[in-house]
Amino acid sequence: MTALVLGLALAVPAWAQTAVELKKELLPKIKKAQADGKDLGVAAKEYEEGDKAMKDGLQEEAVDHFKKAKAAMPADAK
């Protein structure tokens, strides 16, 4: 019973976006903004950090960085 409760407590909510989903959402927006010559500043840096964390197997850290990148995107690039 304890294992079941612990397992449910650690489960990721179904509505939470994964690092892969966030990356797939952000990549085309970032590429388009870069092609348009927009300076993404913090958004680009957070995206790169998220990509690195994902490659290192740090999924939660990658999600945090991708969410920060999404929030930092210029309004006209969202």
- More confident position, 33 or 10: 33
Give the per-residue pLDDT at 5. Answer: 41
- The answer to the question of residue 10 being in a domain is no
Range of the domain at 44: 15-77
Residue 26: pLDDT above 70? yes
Residue 51: pLDDT above 60? yes
Total domains present in the chain: 1
Its pTM stands at 0.76
Residue type, 60: E
Quote the tokens at residue 19: 């690092």
- The answer to the question of residue 33 being in a domain is yes
- The answer to the question of residue 4 being in a domain is no
